[in-house]
Structure 1
């Protein structure tokens, strides 16, 4: 029993803490072995913090459990990632909250936003956000309030912005959902992009970039929540779990930007790299002119992928660096696999061991007690003092067996189960409380 309990304690400690740190130790900053100085950027996509509106088809208790489990999983991942990498900057590729675009009271939104900050704690001055369709909405819908964009800006910052990382590298963060809406409005009027009289929107922001002084020799890295267009069936590379990214749209979402807008972005911004989110799975493609786009994996276990992930990006600081900006995909633990492929088999094996042990104990218990009693009456007197501790232990064991026999097999099993599960179960609860409340 004690062996089982300590074995389970090790299992719980490993799968609730150890695997997260082991996963991130497999990754390193890509510029680490290239020489020279680098600025290191951690890129996170689609954490989509769940709330009471997520998974409306589920009963309320299951929705609450889903929130707790996904928050706990991301808290563990985030702590392991931050302790391992300590990035210079953090960039979120949108969809920070699953239902940030919905109509809700100020107090409810503040609590929702507070949960996001509770999971992803980081110095505010080095964190940048790209707006996602789950943050500000996309298209028209009665569920998207008029103040969704204003609310987003007041909490996460500008929709479109330029972030200077080094003297030669900068991030161009584009409001992709608004770009889709503006492009649709433009097409309704049949106006070419170059003639569209946009004021204050993403198209005006992008056009202004090409006129900005001091661009010579500066490398742009495009940040967009929605991936760029690619031909149907374009392969995403071996790191994708399944399928590919297909163009399509529906209420509140668009899978890719249009072909025309994608070409416009590449021509005007001339990015050396593009990072996008929204799809939840990894995808690596090359566009016209050899421009590489990486669609980053979701950081959440609840987004339809088995292994969440994140992206590391090292940007050279030295003018004469021999290599440019380089990225690296990093994977996080398969939480569903831990539950289904680790915990469930271990539980089944443990229950089997317990049942067999109890049945054998009950079968041999009474006969052993009688034999112990008979043998005790014929021991030579000079051996009684020497054998007393052994006899006492054997008699006590027999008494316990007789009490178990009186309780029945179910009572014995329940007692056995709680004896085995007490220590590891307590550790599981303590770990959860520490990560949810204290860290």
Structure 2
């Protein structure tokens, strides 16, 4: 009799163990699938919709004018050791790394410009903290040798004007370079340290303005006929005949974001808040200097974390690039530019929305809870009956 009871217990035990294994397998499959989709595949799915804009090209000497493919992003704000919580770092930096690496793989840009505020605590970080932040940045934004990565100084990288020092600027330039003028495929880019455009005559400001005046002279020389001026005595070759693209962190002066629109513009309640000169935007005087010296055909800036398009006096358009990080926006994005020496076309590429990913995780958690409750038959009778009918139908 005892043997019979023992045999019955074994028969009941095996189905129970199989059911538990089946539940564990289902939970594992759901969790892994959701993680892979939300942390990896969603970036390919979203960025696959982005395409390079078409730009008009002219033929020169039987050859088409070359087109430069450039990506512009801003305000990555890698967290530091003081204000950076480890979970915040992990979540937001993984998002930026996956977005950047996916964009490189899918879009194949030739050059990437980051318009300042690479770091969040560069303005006060120690040398060791700076080295750690740089190492993380180089891992996240790694790229092949045929892709150029250029970085513009932001206020969080070296400090606001009265925090800025030559030491911090040299520390930044040692890693990211000090060039202010770059020519690629006949397109001239001028990268300005807009933090130094205070206009108060400080040593750093004076040096920055002197360098910009020299760049202005070179740009003017490129427009003159060879043999007609002192520009021919220059040892360096002339720049391509092309109005420059101005890249900087601070936007040029505008009163507010009142005229900005779009889903990634500033929230409606913030658009009419007046901007403070030399803090939110450059001063009127500094903006006029840059427009007069450089006469850019396009201005790209960051700093506000929101999108905006402005037409400045003289016809120079400015595009403020939104932040690339979930920490600053729910809907980060970057700008894709197709540029020639005479023309350009821009388009915007959105990254996955953070609330979309969080909603997916919430839905997955709810589904897992239902699986567990169904397994232990803790759901209300009508729901459990419907679940069993659904499973029966699927088996057929």
Scaled to the shorter chain, the TM-score interval is: 0.7 to 0.9
Distance in 2, matches of 1:247 and 1:178, equals: 18
In the alignment, which residue of structure 2 is the partner of 1:325?
Answer: 344
User: Which of 256-265 and 344-353 deviates more?
Assistant: 344-353
In the alignment, which residue of structure 1 is the partner of 2:212?
Answer: 206
In the alignment, which residue of structure 2 is the partner of 1:381?
Answer: none
In the alignment, which residue of structure 2 is the partner of 1:12?
Answer: 35
Report the number of matched residues. Answer: 329
Instruction: Give CA deviations for 1:245-272 in whole Å, capped at 9, x if unaligned.
Output: 74126xxx81100112112211221111
Q: Structure 1 residue 286: deviation in Å?
A: 1.1
Larger Rg: 1
Distance in 2, matches of 1:239 and 1:336, equals: 15
Instruction: Give CA deviations for 1:270-305 in whole Å, capped at 9, x if unaligned.
Output: 1110000111111111111221111111111111x1
* Aligned with residue 39 of structure 1, among 68, 89, 92: 68
Do structure 1's residue 355 and structure 2's residue 373 form an aligned pair?
A: yes
* Aligned with residue 155 of structure 1, among 150, 175, 180: 175
Q: Structure 1 residue 5: deviation in Å?
A: 4.6
Distance in 2, matches of 1:215 and 1:34, equals: 20
Distance in 1, matches of 2:34 and 2:310, equals: 39
TM-score for both structures, normalised by structure 2: 0.75
Distance in 1, matches of 2:136 and 2:323, equals: 18
Instruction: Give CA deviations for 1:136-166 in whole Å, capped at 9, x if unaligned.
Output: 111324xx666211211111111x6110123
In the alignment, which residue of structure 1 is the partner of 2:248?
Answer: 224
Give the conservation status (yes or no) of the 8 Å contact 2:76–2:119.
yes
Q: Structure 1 residue 43: deviation in Å?
A: 1.1
Compared CA separation, residues 84 and 233, structure 1 to 2 (3 A): closer
Do structure 1's residue 259 and structure 2's residue 281 form an aligned pair?
A: no
Gaps of 5+ in 2: 1-22, 59-63, 225-240, 382-396
TM-score for both structures, normalised by structure 1: 0.68
Distance in 2, matches of 1:28 and 1:270, equals: 29
Do structure 1's residue 116 and structure 2's residue 127 form an aligned pair?
A: no
- Give the alignment's Cα RMSD to 1 decimal: 2.8
Instruction: Give CA deviations for 1:6-60 in whole Å, capped at 9, x if unaligned.
Output: 34443332222121011211111113797953111111211111122225xxxxx
Do structure 1's residue 248 and structure 2's residue 248 form an aligned pair?
A: no
Q: Structure 1 residue 314: deviation in Å?
A: 0.9
Do structure 1's residue 307 and structure 2's residue 331 form an aligned pair?
A: yes
Gaps of 5+ in 1: 56-62, 187-196, 364-439
Instruction: Give CA deviations for 1:71-130 in whole Å, capped at 9, x if unaligned.
Output: 21111111101101121111111111111121413x332221111101000257722111
Distance in 1, matches of 2:292 and 2:281, equals: 17
Distance in 2, matches of 1:126 and 1:98, equals: 23
Distance in 2, matches of 1:34 and 1:208, equals: 30
Give the conservation status (yes or no) of the 8 Å contact 2:55–2:345.
no
Q: Structure 1 residue 337: deviation in Å?
A: 3.4
